[in-house]
Amino acid sequence: MMYEQQQRFQQPMSVQVDFRKKTERSKGIEEERLEIVDLSGMSLDSLPNPSLNLATICKLDLSNNNLQNIPESLTARLLNMVVLDVHSNQLRYLPNSIGCLSKIKVLNVSGNLIEYLPKTIENCSRSLEELNANFNKLIQLPENIGYELINLKKLSVNSNKLVFLPRSTSHLTALKILDVRLNCLRSLPEDLENLINLETLNVSQNFQYLDSLPYSVGLLLSLVELDASYNKIRSLPDSVGCLKKLQKLSVEGNPLSSPPPEVMEQGLHAVKEYLCQKMNAGHQSPTKKKSWVGKLVRYGTFNGHTSRGVSREEREAFIMPDYRPIDSLTSPRYTGMFSPRRLFSPRNYFSA
């Protein structure tokens, strides 16, 4: 069996990359073919010794095996790696040499047993665009992750044990999707306004832990979808009413008292109008909210006025379904919502 595995590593090129790496040389341009290596689903406990040049690999798929570790020497030689997929293994840690992948754009380590990401992942600062670490045992993220991964567009760390996000998270200015559902989050960073490109924020199903959203949510200028369902949130911050691009708001499963149920039933437009009126009424109050109103005006998200007309599209954008007890989610009807196949599928993102 080991012989067959080694042969597959030696001749794994079932798919060829559609592009070529062009390198300028003194006597012209030399083209070097980059390869995709697929070793997924082979029940591997360890990696066979490769005979090919690791520097020619641009995508390596080691998913759905039984790997407990990845050799430091392997990742250190993957000089042209763009996509590394090691999801659904038994990894407890990632090699420190992951920081040598200076060209990596997509890193998928979901479905493992990882408690900490190596600090060296910050060395991928100029290239990494998507980090998927769902379904692990993450206790915390690297403290400086937001200062270093300046081109990160998608950070997905759902189904872990995160209690908080590092303050530097609010400096991920290129971020478009932040998925931190199914954790143990107590709070979110206060200065979220720096996430100027964030379109989707999912903080749902932190259940008995998350009881509020920061006021800075109202400064997320690009936010289109906000899912804060199944938490302990009693009041939405007034600033949510200033999210001009917001098209979908999910807050079911929370003991909300503000906005009141009769407003929630009227749809997203009514919720935003209610919160704007509430903010406008408290504008003269010498509280913390006063400083936030100034910020909201400066960012162009709040003008102190509310509109009246309600289109059908706006009314349907917000749906407050009947409250479902958390216990009912363990029934066969809902358990599929939390399966790795569903949560990992791009088609089903936010469809639950």
Q: Are residues 126 and 195 in the same domain?
A: no
- pLDDT at residue 33 in the model: 83
Q: Is residue 42 part of a domain?
A: yes
Percent of the chain at pLDDT > 70 equals 71
> Do residues 80 and 34 touch, judged by C-beta distance below 8 A?
yes
In a domain, 115, yes or no: yes
Domain for residue 19, yes or no? no
Per residue in 14-36, pLDDT (tens digit) is 333 333 333 333 333 334 588 99
| Residues 143 and 127 occupy one common structural domain | no
Q: Among 85, 116, 131, give the residue marking a domain's end.
A: 131
Question: Per mean pLDDT, which range of 49-58, 252-261, 295-304, 338-347 is the poorest?
Answer: 338-347
Contact between residue 299 and residue 221 where contact means Cβ atoms under 8 Å apart: yes
> In this structure, are residues 9 and 51 in contact, taking their beta carbons and an 8 Å threshold?
yes
Q: For residue 263, is it within any domain?
A: yes
Task: Report pLDDT digits (tens) over 77-95.
Answer: 999 999 999 999 999 999 9
pLDDT at 125: 85
Residues 144 and 117 in one domain: no
Residue 59 lies in a domain: yes
Specify whether 155 is located in the same domain as 258: yes
321-344 pLDDT, tens digit per residue, is: 443 443 444 443 444 444 444 444
Position 48 confidence tier, pLDDT thresholds 50, 70, 90? confident
pLDDT of 208 over the 60 cut: yes
Burial 164-196 (b: 16+ CB within 10 A, else e): ebbebbbbbeebbbbbbbbbebeebbeebbbbe
Q: pLDDT tens, 91-132?
A: 999 999 999 999 999 999 999 999 999 999 999 988 999 999
pLDDT at 184 over 90: yes
Quote the pLDDT of residue 331: 40
Give the count of domains, the chain. Answer: 2
Alpha carbon dihedral 196, 201, 206, 209, in 10-degree steps, equals 30
Distance CA 352, CA 336 (A): 10
Higher pLDDT, 183 or 8: 183
Sign of CA dihedral 274, 185, 292, 218: negative
Sequential DSSP letters for 172-189: -TT--EEE--SS------
Which residue's entry shows tokens 């009246």? 308
- Give pLDDT, residue 43: 96
Query: Does residue 256 share a domain with residue 183?
Result: yes
Percent share of the chain, pLDDT over 90: 66
Measure the CA dihedral 174/176/181/184, to 10°.
20
Q: 318 or 139, which is more confident?
A: 139
Give the other-Cβ count within 10 Å of 205's Cβ.
25
Average pLDDT score, the chain: 80
> Over 50: is that where the pLDDT of 226 sits?
yes
> 260 and 238 in one domain?
yes
Full residue range of the structural domain in which residue 105 is found: 32-131
What pLDDT is attached to residue 295? 66
Average pLDDT for 240-244: 95
pLDDT of residue 241: 95
The answer to the question of residue 209 being in a domain is: yes
- Answer with the one of 283, 315, 335 that is the final residue of a domain: 283
pLDDT tier for residue 281 given thresholds of 50, 70 and 90: confident
What CATH number did the domain enclosing 186 receive?
3.80.10.10
Nearby residues of 21 by Cβ (< 8 Å), 6 or more positions away = 31, 32, 33, 34, 58, 80
Whole-angstrom distance, CA of residue 185 vs CA of residue 136: 15
Tokens of 99: 């920081």
**Cα 123 to Cα 91: distance, rounded to the nearest angstrom:** 21
Shared domain check, 163 and 220: yes
Q: 226 and 190: one domain?
A: yes
For the segment 130-145, what is each residue's pLDDT rounded down to a tens digit? 999 999 999 999 999 9
Q: Are 201 and 266 part of one and the same domain?
A: yes
Per mean pLDDT, which range of 16-25, 53-62, 165-174, 183-192 is the poorest?
16-25
For helices 288-298 and 268-281, give the axis angle rounded to 10 degrees: 120
In a domain, 94, yes or no: yes
Given 250, 283, 316, which residue is the final one in a domain? 283
DSSP per-residue codes, 270-283: HHHHHHHHHHHHTT
C-alpha span between 352 and 341 (Å, rounded): 13
Task: Pick the closest to residue 323 from 261, 253, 271 (CA basis).
Answer: 253
Q: What are phi and psi of 132, to 5 degrees?
A: -115, 110
Q: 286 or 278, which is more confident? A: 278
Whether residues 142 and 275 share a domain: the answer is yes
> Do 142 and 225 fall into the same domain?
yes
Contacts of 130 (CB under 8 A, 6+ apart): 105, 106, 107, 108, 152, 153, 154, 156
| Interstrand relation of 57-61 and 83-85 (parallel, antiparallel or unpaired) | parallel
Q: What is the pTM of this model?
A: 0.76
For residue range 282-298, what is the model confidence (pLDDT) as tens digits?
Answer: 655 555 555 666 666 66
pLDDT in the model for residue 61: 97
State how far Cα 136 lies from the chain centre: 14
Predicted pLDDT of residue 99: 94
Find how far residue 291's CA is from the centre of its chain. Answer: 30
Based on the fold, state whether residues 166 and 218 are members of the same structural domain. yes
Confidence of residue 50 (pLDDT cuts 50, 70, 90): confident
Domain assignment present for residue 242? The answer is yes
Q: Which pLDDT band holds residue 49 (cuts at 50, 70, 90)?
A: confident
Q: How far apart are CA 101 and CA 291, in angstroms?
A: 43
